[in-house]
Structures are given as C-alpha cells and as structure tokens.
Structure 1
Amino acid sequence: MSLKKEAISGSEVDEKLAALMTNSNAIRAIASAVEGTLGPKGLDTMLVDKFGDVVITNDGVTILTMMEANHPAARMLINIAKAQQEEIGDGTTTATVMAGALVSAGFEQVAKGVPVARVIEGLRVGLKRALEAMSEQARPVVGLGDPAVRQVALIAGRDHGDIADLVVRAAVLIGEDKFKDPTFKFSDTIVAEEGAENQVFMGVIINKERMNRQMPKELDRVKVLVIDDALEPEEIDDEALGTEAGFSRYLQLQTEFKENIDKIAGLGVGLVLADRGVDDAAEEILADSGIMVVQRVANKELRKASELTGARMIKRTGLKKAVDELEKYLGYADKVSSDEKLEQVWVMGGKGKPMATVLVGAATSEVVGERERIAKDAASSVQSAIKGGVVPGGGSMELAVAREVEKVREGIRGMAAYGVDCVVDALKRPMAQIVANAGFNPLEKLGDVIAAQVETGKHSLAVDCDSGQVADMYELGVVDPANVKIHALKAAGEVAEAILRIDTIIKKREEKDMHNKDIVSQ
C-alpha cells in the first residue's frame, strides 16, 4: 500500500500546516489499513507482493510490517507498532488506531487555530490521567487457574478454543515463577507445523533432522552435549600449511580432534547438538557409537535445549579438557526422538529449567503462519495478564477512562483543554471501531454504553457484538491484559506528540553527495 499526499487547495489549509496535514493523512491511511480487523467481528486483510504471493491475516503487526509504506510519518507509526509487539507481544492494532485518532484530532484542533504547543500540553495532561485511570482499573490474576487466564488467551487467540487450551496448559506446566523472569518470553514456546497434532509437552523442538539414518531414531535417559561451535578440527590457513611446521601442526590438530571425538563417545553421550557443521569423520565415529548428532542448530533452539537439559554450552577448543571436567558440561534429557515427517528432533524432559513447547497443528501450509501468529498473540497476552492483571475488553475500559479524562478537562484553563479533548476522542475510538466492524451504528451504541455506565457505575459495560445489546464484559468473559492497553495508549501518545511537533519536512541530501562535496572542497 503506497501512501501519497492528498491533493488539497492552498486556500483550504494554511501553508504552515502543510507538514502536519501530510503527516496526518499518512497516519490516517495506516490506521485505516488495520482498523477493520479490530474486535471479534473484524475481518482479514490480504497482502499481495509483486510476485503474486498472498498473506491473509487479521494480525495488526503483520499487516503493518508487510505493507508498503513510503511516507516517513507512516514508518514512524509502524516502528511504534513494532516496539509494542516487541515489548508486550499484542495490542498493535489498538495502538495504531488510537495513534491515528490522536493525530487526526490534534490536526483538526490546530487547523481551527489552536497552537500546537497548547494541543501537546493538553495531550500530556490527558494521557497522564488516562494511564493512571487504566492502572487503577486493573484486576490481578489469581494464579494460573484463574478463569481470566483462559479468557485472555481466547480473546487474543481470536476465539480459537483449541489454541487457548494449548496455551493455558503450557502456562500451567511452566509454572507461575517462570513468568516472573524478565528474560522469559512465553510466545517463544510456540511452534506451528503443517500436518502436526496439537499438543503441549515439556521439552524443545529442534528444527533439524539427525545427520544420517544410521544414527538412533529414539533415545531414553541420555546425556546431552551442546557445542556452540563447529565440531570440526581447528583450521590452518593454506600458506601455513605449505610449511613443514604448519603441516606438522595440521597433523597434530587432526590427532587431537579424533581424541576429542573418542572422548565424547567414551563419556556415554547420547545426543550432540552443534551450532555449525560436523566433520565427516566425526559423524562416522559418533554414528558407530550410537550417538544422535544434529548440526547447524539455530542459536535460539540451542540455548533452549541447553536450558532444558542443564547442559553448559562449550566451544570445540573446550573439548580438550579432561574427562572429569567435560562431565560438568553435560546435560540430561528424559527422551529424544527424531520425527522424519516433520524433519525435527524433539528433546523432552531434563534436569535443567522447565521448558514447555506448544505445537500448533495446521491443515495446510497456507494457514501455518496465521495459526502461529494467533498462538503467539495468545501466549503474549497470557504473560501480560499474569504480570499486570486484566481489564474489561470491548473498549469498555477506554470509554470509562475517557469520562475520567473529561473531569480533568473541566479544571484546565486556556487552549490546552482542546488537547485533552483529543485524548477523550482517541479513547472512544476502540469501541466505536469494534461496534462498526460488528455492523452497528457506533454513535448510537456509544451513547447507550455511556448512559449505562453512568447509571450503573459499572466500568465494564460495552456492546455485545452478537446481539448489539449493552452487556457486562466481565460476565461475558471479554477481558484484556491491562499492560497491553496501557502500553498501547502510551505508544500512541508518543507517536502523536512526535508527529504534531513536526513543523517542516526537508529532504536530506544523500550521504554519498555530501561525501563527494567534502572531497571537492578539500
């Protein structure tokens, strides 16, 4: 999707607003590309490349990262969405839609004559109160057995009950303590494969086959050696090899290497995982010894296997250590099996840290990627909910927070109040879009919900997208992680302020041209 500046008469907009106008149009275009996917009735987007390859998805960050966007403001918004995905793992569509609403509302106020500085001042006040109110509404999750955990997985998983169940089972297996580890990303446990059966197991999947069919296909209760290096003799450059000393050194290294391979076999190792290639001679010796060898393992998978089995990763030079020293580097796995159909090696159980894998099956290759994205969103949302609690979904919480922000506006004098209005408009946008995507009139339904929230004092009221009636989101099980909502609004506020502050757009000279000019001047 290409973004172009909309043609507009110079008499309609002051020339000073040209930069803000073109940036606002770009942001609106990006937001419009994903807003149709929001909510339970949101539709999919088809992305097509120049070769005709198609990706059909409902995932906001996938749409944003794959779409063609040439405008610099558009790329700013896409980068914010990427940051949201990296930090929280979900909520990119909400962040994008609210950023679009903030920028559009801000542009309208500036076009009416409100100074940009005053709009930004009001934005900051409104956002500060909104973020406080969101934090106040968060309900803690009481253990992994809390029903809210599955509901979060179900909502983020777009009502795929099988995926929600897999994610919850994996969370229980891993344990709540693991989720408190700041380096742990639950979404990394997700693997999707065509033709696989849905399952959760304590272990990791190596997306490589054993080196040859003569190696054992299955192993029980085995020692594991993880080599963060190539399992090959140390190299000598051709120039050195041409000398007598160099050739002598080459023979010595070959002898040492064979001794090291024999040492591995003598240690009773059953599985060897190598980061890079494995020498042919080493492959033959290890196969004859009944050892399964997997080469060129992705570094992330290597680290997971090391963590699961308790193995300490070692370089090839470390294999020179004494046998009793090498023993300390070995890990342990309960079971190792090679799946020739899926071209994978499964390492299950171990003496290290608990590590679960969620294997999501897909009927065809076309849906593998989407099933994986759905499962990763569900996993990320569950992790966020465990850390920061949940809030009612369906846009109910944002609407309730909008009323709190309106109270702040009453105490603000001057034009900064118009900036607060922008925040109020943005907070109403998620529910309005969810309702519109469900086929209802957003103005009518927002009015009904606001009246019901005021009358009952319940902040969890929104619209049931099936019936169109006002309903309690907590009672319907429609909940979202509080951290996802908080971070989405924070990200939207950051990009909106950055866009509103841009007064002039100037094309940079190419770095090559600048360098050439410097040479000429010298």
Structure 2
Amino acid sequence: DKFQNIGAKLVQNVANNTNEEAGDGTTTATVLARAIAKEGFEKISKGANPIEIRRGVMMAVEAVKEKLKNMSKPVTTPEEIAQVATISANGDTAIGKLIADAMKKVGRDGVITVKDGKTLNDELEIIEGMKFDRGYISPYFINSSKGAKVEFQDALVLFSEKKISNVQTIIPALELANQQRKALVIVAEDVDGEALSTLVVNRLKIGLQVAAVKAPGFGDNRKSTLSDMAIATGGVVFGDDANLIKVEDVQSSDFGQVGEVIITKDDTLFLKGKGKKADIDRRAEQIRDQIQETTSEYEKEKLQERLARLASGVAVLHVGGSSEVEVNEKKDRVNDALNATRAAVEEGIVPGGGSALLRCIPMLEELKTANADQATGVDIIKKALKMPCMTIARNAGIDGSVVVAKVEDLGPEFGYDALNNEYVNMIEKGIIDPTKVVRTALTDASGVASLLTTAEA
C-alpha cells in the first residue's frame, strides 16, 4: 500500500544517513523512526494538527540532545580509545588495538582507510598521502575492475585554479604525459565542454590514462588547498595570481607527481607525493601559525583539515584473513569499529543498550509546550525513547516493559546487559555507545516525523 511504501522508504533513508554520519546506530535510528512514525500517524488520523505535533517532537529532540551532551564522557587516552574500538568491533581486542594505534600515529584528525591485506595478519601502514572529498568528474574515467574507481601508479598531476573547457588548453599536458608514458590527473575548478568530452573519448577509444577531478572547497579555501596539493606533489598551480604561465605552456617540471592515485565517486587520494620535504614543512608551519591566529571556528576547522592532509599522512589498516569471505566480513567490522571510534573521540560516550535514551525521559516532563498537540509531540518522543531498550530486551526473549521499568529505577550509568541477562553498570561493563551515534540516530529518526506530517495524501 502506498503509505507503507512511503514509510519504508523514509525509514531506509534514515538508516543510510545515520550510517554515513556516525558510522553506526542504524538499528537505533530505524527503531526510533518506526516508533515516531507509528505514534505520529495514529494521532494525526485522530485529528491532531501535524504541524504542532512536529513542533513538539522537535522541541523534545533538542532537549534530549542537550541532555545526551551533558551525560557524555570524553574518550581521550589511547587506552580509552582502544577500549571503545574493541567494543565497537564486537570485542575483538586485536582490531581495537589496531585502530587505537592508527589514531595515535596520524592524530585524531588524520585520515584512516581500510584495505584488503596480503597476509593472514592485520597490519597497520602509515602512508604520507593527501585525501580530499571530490571524486571523478565522469564515471567514464573508471579503470579498475575491482569497484568503481580510478587507480593509477606513478601519475602526473596538473593543477588549475580556472575552469578548463577548451580542449586546446590541455593538449600540451596530455602530450607531455603521453611522452613520459604516465597517467595524467587534472585537478581544476571544473573540466567540462569539449575538454571533458575529448578526455572521455580518448580514454574509451585509445585507453588514454587520464582522469579529471574538481578542486575541493571554494573561494580562498580552494586556492589554499590547491597550493597545498601542489607543494605536496612538487607541482605548480596554473591560473592563480602568482603564476602567470598559461596551462597551454606547461613544462614537465610544472606537474605534480604522485606514486599512487585512487579516485572514487566521492573522494581522491594522492599517495607518495614527490614534493620537497623542506617546502612541505614550511607550508605546515605557515598553517600552524594561521591556526594560532584565527578566531573563527570555521577557519580553524578548515586549517586543521589542511594540516592533517599535509603533515600527518594517511593510515591504512590492512585486514588479513584466509579467505575473501573472511576478509570482507572482517573489513566491515573494522569499518564499523573505526567509524564508531571516531565518533566517540569526537563527542564522547554514553551508557549503551538504549539506556542513555531512557535517562532523557524524566527531563521531558518539564518541557513547557504551547498547546495540547505540541504536548502530544513530546509524548511521542517519550514513548519512542523507550523503544531501543525494549527492542533489545524483546530480542533476548524478555518482556521489554519490565526491563525498561527496572532500568529506570537504577542509577544513571546502569542498564540491561542482554547477553548475560543482568542489570549492570554499562560504562564499567564496556557496554557503551558513542554519543554522536545516539544523537545522529535520534536526529535522523525525528526527521521522519516532519516527513510523515507532510505525507498525507
């Protein structure tokens, strides 16, 4: 039926989004979304005003997020990080240690990726590389049989701050790359028009090793990121104010050089850039000084991102195993654990097993609402907050409402350990959730409330 279909679609979107944001908590988000949707539909069909209900829901959600923030315990020491990572990897201490080591090596803001290992063991490799969140401009550049990505070994990089539309602009660069038998990656404000179609046709017809990527960021931030990349790879940026040479007049020495390039639809990774160490260090120092000087939080965040790219490198976790199935299963576990650990380092942890949400119910009693329908919205959230804990109990074959009542009576860090069917101090027992995961799950689930109120046919 049409409604159920809309509902199912919404809930699917919620789950996907939570996974992208915080790396886990999809089950929590789905359970919450279902509870909010079910109650919301019932009340609206009985004549409540959807817009006021939504206001109530949003009011309650904001209050709960505030409470979660206050409950949150920071995760800072390597031991704590390893503990969280181990828990997130279903108790696998080896994975926990691997992730904690990686974070120690590249810093909490460094880039960590997960790859297939070549051996039976898991290994940590630190690569000096740069990753940024722009993928290939056209999927026709894909050259890898494993997954939709572009992979080159030992490539030249052409950086341009301007848009490239005219094919004449890039022919000299293509010829130079061709003479050296090297792949060419073009990073520019944009590549379109006949320049793009020529690249694509040559890639498809004669297998030209080429790919184009939009430069990350915009405005001044893009300028600086491009010149960071040029410094890291030993190239120059065309079209900026300092460098007045035209792209047409490119020389071999103007290209950046990288040992390995991986481009997916969402991001680009340059590994083993051939920039001079002295230049890179000087640049990193400049950025550090700017971080000290700036007062704007946004600026600071952007600068730290640039610093991580330049200085701290990329950690690669090679996941080993005896068969492809085993490696893939383990890779998923490592990815989940990594995302959850990042989230925990960012915003701290709260007691797991749905108990953190239960602790937020009492303060919803005190919310001042403007009318009865808003109060109904708050009640919908009050009910929904019990669902994750109930669901866990039910899945363990126990009466959910009994468990919820019992947990509500216990101290703030206590909850229900479904595995051993007992009530314990969740933090001590290591049954925890990253605050960000719980917060994102709730935010995404409550978004459904606003959609459901508009899905009246």
TM bucket, shorter chain: 0.5 to 0.7
> What do you get for the CA RMSD once the two structures are aligned?
4.4
TM-score by length of structure 2 reads: 0.64
The answer to whether 1:161 aligns with 2:85 is no
Match of 1:78, SS state, is helix
Tell me what 2:10 maps to. Answer: 76
Query: Sequence identity of aligned pairs in percent?
Result: 24
Kindly state the Cα deviation for residue 80 of structure 1 after the two structures are TM-superposed: 2.9
1:371-396 per-residue CA deviation (whole Å, 9 max, x = no partner) reads: 22221221112222222122121111
Does residue 494 of the first structure (1) align with residue 447 of the second (2)?
yes
Instruction: Tell me the amino acid that sits aligned with residue 429 of structure 1.
Output: M
2:422 maps to 1:469: yes
- Please state how far the C-alpha of 1:259 moved relative to its aligned partner: 10
Q: What is the distance in 2 between the residues matched to 1:201 and 1:503? A: 53
CA contact (8 A) 1:153 1:164 kept: yes
Tell me whether 1:421 sits opposite 2:389 in the alignment: no
Which structure has more RCO (C-alpha within 8 Å, separation ≥ 6)?
A: 2
Does 104-113 or 354-363 show the bigger shift? 104-113
Between the aligned partners of 1:451 and 1:254, the Cα distance in structure 2 is 71
Q: Could you say if the C-alpha distance between residues 257 and 106 of structure 1 is closer, same or farther in structure 2, counting changes exceeding 3 Å?
A: closer
* Cα offsets for 1:435-479 (capped at 9, x unmatched): 222332212211111111xxxxx3221111232111111111222
Distance 1:156 1:348, change over 3 A: farther
Amino acid at match of 1:462: G
Amino acid across the alignment from 1:472? N
**Match for residue 356 of structure 2?**
397
Q: Secondary structure at the match of 2:320?
A: strand
2-side partners of 1:448 and 1:478: how far apart?
17
Does residue 1:119 correspond to 2:53, yes or no? yes
The reply to whether residue 408 of structure 1 matches residue 371 of structure 2 is no
Long gaps (5+) in structure 1: 6-21, 27-70, 180-184, 210-223, 230-236, 238-249, 265-271, 278-294, 336-344, 453-457, 505-522
Aligned AA (1:167): I
Q: Write out per-residue CA displacement over residues 335-372 of structure 1, whole angstroms, 9 at most, x where no aligned residue.
A: 9xxxxxxxxx9969995532111111233223443322
Counterpart residue type for residue 425 of structure 1: K
Deviations 1:302-329, CA, capped at 9 Å, x for gaps: x9xx979921567999796557x54x84
Instruction: Give 1:95's aligned residue.
Output: 29
Matching residue of 2:305: none
2:321 to 335, 353, 362: 362
Q: 1:441 aligns with which of 387, 393, 399?
A: 399
8 Å Cα contact 1:260-1:319 kept in structure 2: no
- Which sits farther off after the overlay, 362-371 or 392-401? 362-371
Task: Give the greater-gyration-radius structure (CA).
Answer: 1
Q: Identify the residue that residue 19 of structure 2 maps to in structure 1.
A: 85
Runs of 5+ unmatched residues, structure 2: 130-141, 145-153, 160-166, 187-198, 200-208, 215-224, 239-245, 261-269, 278-309
Query: Does the residue aligned with 1:466 lie in a helix, a strand or coil?
Result: coil
Which one-letter code corresponds to 1:393 in the other structure? G
Aligned residues: 349
CA contact under 8 A between 1:97 and 1:429: conserved in structure 2?
Answer: yes
* 1:130 counterpart residue number: 64
Partners of 1:227 and 1:314 within 8 A in 2? no
Q: Provide the rounded CA distance (Å) in 1 between the counterparts of 2:213 and 2:321.
A: 25
Q: Distance in 2 between the 1:319 and 1:227 partners?
A: 15
- Shift of the alpha carbon at 1:423? 0.2
Maintained 8 Å contact 1:85/1:91:
yes
Would the alpha carbon gap of residues 82 and 298 (structure 1) be closer, same or farther in structure 2, given more than 3 Å must change? farther
Q: Deviations over 1:53-111 (max 9, x none)?
A: xxxxxxxxxxxxxxxxxx33322332233332333232222212111111112223334
Give the 5 Å matches for 1:246-395: 257=176, 261=180, 274-275=184-185, 310-312=232-234, 321=250, 325-326=253-254, 329-330=256-257, 351=277, 352-353=310-311, 354-395=313-354
Distance 2:316 2:120 in 1: 13
CA distance in 2, matches of 1:308, 1:97: 47
Q: Compare 424-433 and 307-316 and name the one that shifted more.
A: 307-316
Change in 2 beyond 3 A, CA 1:275/1:367: farther
Alignment check: 8 A CA contact 1:393 1:480 kept: yes
Cα distance 1:371–1:349, how it changes in 2: closer, same or farther (>3 A)?
farther
| Aligned with 2:102 (options 120, 145, 170) | 170
1:484 paired to 2:400: no
For the Cα contact (< 8 Å) 1:393–1:460, is it kept in 2?
Answer: no
Rounded Cα–Cα distance in structure 2 between residues aligned with 1:365 and 1:124: 45
Report if the CA contact (8 A) 1:204-1:357 is conserved: no
Q: Which stretch shifts more, 118-127 or 353-362? A: 118-127
Q: Secondary structure at the match of 1:158?
A: coil
Cα distance between partner residues in 2 of 1:191 and 1:297: 22
Distance in 2 between residues matched to 1:204 and 1:437, nearest whole Å: 46
Match of 1:227 in 2: 157
Q: C-alpha distance in 2, partners of 1:425/1:167? A: 37
| Contact kept in structure 2, 1:208 and 1:297, CA below 8 Å | no
Tell me if structure 2 keeps the 8 A contact 1:194–1:368.
no
Whole-angstrom CA distance in 1 between matches of 2:340 and 2:64: 21
**1-structure distance, mates of 2:232, 2:389:** 48
- Structure 2 SS opposite 1:404: helix
Which residue type is aligned with residue 161 of structure 1? T
SS in 2 for 1:362: coil
TM-score by length of 1: 0.56
SS of the aligned residue for 1:408 comes to coil
